[in-house]
Structure 1
Amino acid sequence: MANTTLRTATLRAAAKRAERAARQPNEPEATPDPKPTARTAGRPGRLGAVLAVLVVLGVVATAMLGWRYREAERTAQARAAALTAAHKAAPAVLSYDYRHLDRDFAAARAHLTDPFLDQYAKTTQTVVAPTAKQYRGVVKATVAKPPGDDAAPAASVVSASPDRAVILLFMNQLTTSTQVTTPRLDLNRVRMTLISTPQGWKVSALDAL
């Protein structure tokens, strides 16, 4: 009887093991939690860095465009201001009358700045003044103007920046003195360099062409 009970228990245990073995293939296996690889983990960081660089480049490009626009605007203003200053300075610098030289020279110096200011002062005192007094010289200079009521004076901007400009002017100079029997008209070209100063645009160089 004992042997029969033992065999029955053994058979039951074997049946249970077979039943468990038959169920295991159908049971879902536990899926391990996905872990980010080094490649996928670094992608969001690189994307953020790229976006940051693009933002910086956009800001720099906008700043550069703004700076160029302001520089172009300042240059345009400088061209107009320097040309106006040259129109006023040229007749004063190139004219004089022996009867009131000190007044004429002072008026001219108001349009000048160094290094031309010092050069003009020395030349007028050592050369122009003695000669003008000796021969009663009078020179009246004007910016040439083509025929026509609407014609602009013959002057143009050669180059310009916000702080410096070079102007080309065509000048008429009418001279009278004891050395000439009739007034003499000279047609001259001058290149005038002007710089921006706290007192306005001043002539820093003048060359006859």
Structure 2
Amino acid sequence: MAVTGDTPAAARRTDAKVHNAAADDLVDGVAGFAYHAAMTTPGVLVVDIGSSHTIAMIRRGDGTVETLLSDHSPPSLPATLAQVRDACARTMPEPPASVTITHPASWGPTKRLEVAEHARDAGLGAPTLLPAPVAATRYLVDVLGHALPVGATVFVADFDETGFAAAVLSHTPGGFAVLAADDARAPDATAMPVESAVRVGQAVLGSAGVPAERVATVMSIGAASRSPLATDTVQRVFGRPPFVVDQPELAAAHGALFDVHALPGPGAPPLIPVSGTPQPGPAAPMKPPRRLATVILGITAAFALVFVTVTAVANATIAAPADPESTADVKRDAGTAAEALLSYDHKDMDASITEAKSYTTEGFGREYVQNMEDLRPTAESEKASIEAEVVDIGIVENTGEAVEVLVFVNQTTTNSNIEGSRVDKSRVTLTMVLGHGGWKVDDMKAL
């Protein structure tokens, strides 16, 4: 299942037939963002979170596509996602196999995690998040057949009723990576001075370190892509008109609809949010800083606690490995590691520690072992054990060097201070890096 902005609400079942998923129900949402839903590959829902009104899209069994506009405004993002869930339940015989949410490229990790949590709370599972400009560019290249060699750059200009958003993308061997992104919003975009949009476009190019003349393709998407503001902005920044697809307001939805797994690879450059002033040169991928924090997940004298060393996560673009197989590998390794790291048995702490450490990098492994040694006396004296079970998992973020994974875990605790056992529901993010023998945990953060 997937969710995209300024997009459609439709669903394709595993029988390849597409049914209307929400039609008139999905509309403008919180903080000026709109919500659209479109069904993609069999059993996959795509929801696009944009910045204008919602469009319902139906792909019929004969291959025809019908789009419907809706002007209602749901009270909140959670309410919108609940509408998507209910629409899918009404029109699909079984829940979608996966959920993809496309979103403004300028969103940071906090906002993205918030959206992922809302999706989970709405019963949509742990989603994969995809920047809307990436989805739109995949549509241009993979669906429409626009030629764009690896190494080329794309400028995506998104114009709608609320303003203008810009993003610079690089075509890498693993997909499309966001180099820089920013936006300018106004209550009435028709009154926005073209100079404001031009400044945003130039700032994004400067932050990406890409001169206007080196941009291979300028793509304009959004409901206002053919407005005077759109035409004048692109002409002044690039000296040429943009490429505008048919139904540009559906470009991101269509991109996620037809190629939901085409995401930037682990080597893709990170997102660089722009705030006004152009910055020279492309930024190199940054590793999350090691700001350590001790997080309580389960044993004290009163009840079980386990101390796990975690780190804060730096701003970076959301992505996933470049293909479904790699995505599955990250999720599999992260799930196995999470269950080991968040479990222990007081009867054999050495075995618990050794197993968990095998799923970590050398640096994080040392920190984990030290914390577990500090915990050992309490665990053994209180006869405490914790068994963790992963209940859901999703790709959240890719810094270029590491993949951020959101994991939902149930921890069953037993010790001498409680009767029977207690189940605690936990959420953690794991920073996974590719190492010898698979993906390893380099950091962990409790939410």
CA-to-partner distance for each residue in 1:64-116, whole Å, 9 max, x for gaps?
A: 25x83522274324433211111111111111111111011100000001432
2:151 to 48, 51, 64: 64
Separation in structure 2 between the aligned mates of residue 79 and residue 161 of structure 1, nearest angstrom: 15
Separation in structure 1 between the aligned mates of residue 436 and residue 384 of structure 2, nearest angstrom: 35
Is structure 2 residue 433 aligned with structure 1 residue 195? yes
Matched with 2:132 is none
2:344 to 82, 88, 96: 96
Change (3 A) 1:136 1:195: same
| Rg larger in structure | 1
Matched with 1:76 is 322
Separation in structure 2 between the aligned mates of residue 107 and residue 181 of structure 1, nearest angstrom: 28
- Greater fraction helix: 1
CA-to-partner distance for each residue in 1:97-140, whole Å, 9 max, x for gaps?
A: 1111101110000000143211101000112x111100001100
Secondary structure at 1:62 match in 2: coil
How big is the shift at 1:175?
A: 0.3
Secondary structure at 1:68 match in 2: strand
The aligned amino acid for 2:149 is: T
* 8 Å contact kept, 1:174–1:183: yes
| Runs (5+) with no aligned partner, structure 1 | 1-60, 145-153
Is structure 2 residue 408 aligned with structure 1 residue 170? yes
Separation in structure 1 between the aligned mates of residue 171 and residue 436 of structure 2, nearest angstrom: 24
Change (3 A) 1:79 1:182: same
- Aligned length, in residue pairs: 139
Relative contact order (C-alpha < 8 Å, sep 6+): which is higher?
1
- Greater fraction strand: 2
* 8 Å contact kept, 1:115–1:205: no
Within 5 Å, give how 1:1-209 maps onto structure 2: 62-64=149-151, 68=171, 70-72=173-175, 74=265, 75-77=321-323, 78-127=326-375, 129-144=376-391, 154-160=392-398, 163-209=401-447
Separation in structure 1 between the aligned mates of residue 357 and residue 436 of structure 2, nearest angstrom: 16
How big is the shift at 1:182?
A: 2.2
Separation in structure 1 between the aligned mates of residue 171 and residue 437 of structure 2, nearest angstrom: 26
The aligned amino acid for 1:108 is: A
Secondary structure at 2:151 match in 1: helix
- Normalising by structure 2, we get a TM-score of 0.29
Separation in structure 2 between the aligned mates of residue 178 and residue 158 of structure 1, nearest angstrom: 38
The aligned amino acid for 1:76 is: A
Q: Percent identity?
A: 28
Secondary structure at 1:179 match in 2: coil
* 8 Å contact kept, 2:149–2:171: no
User: What's the RMSD between the two structures over aligned residues?
Assistant: 2.1
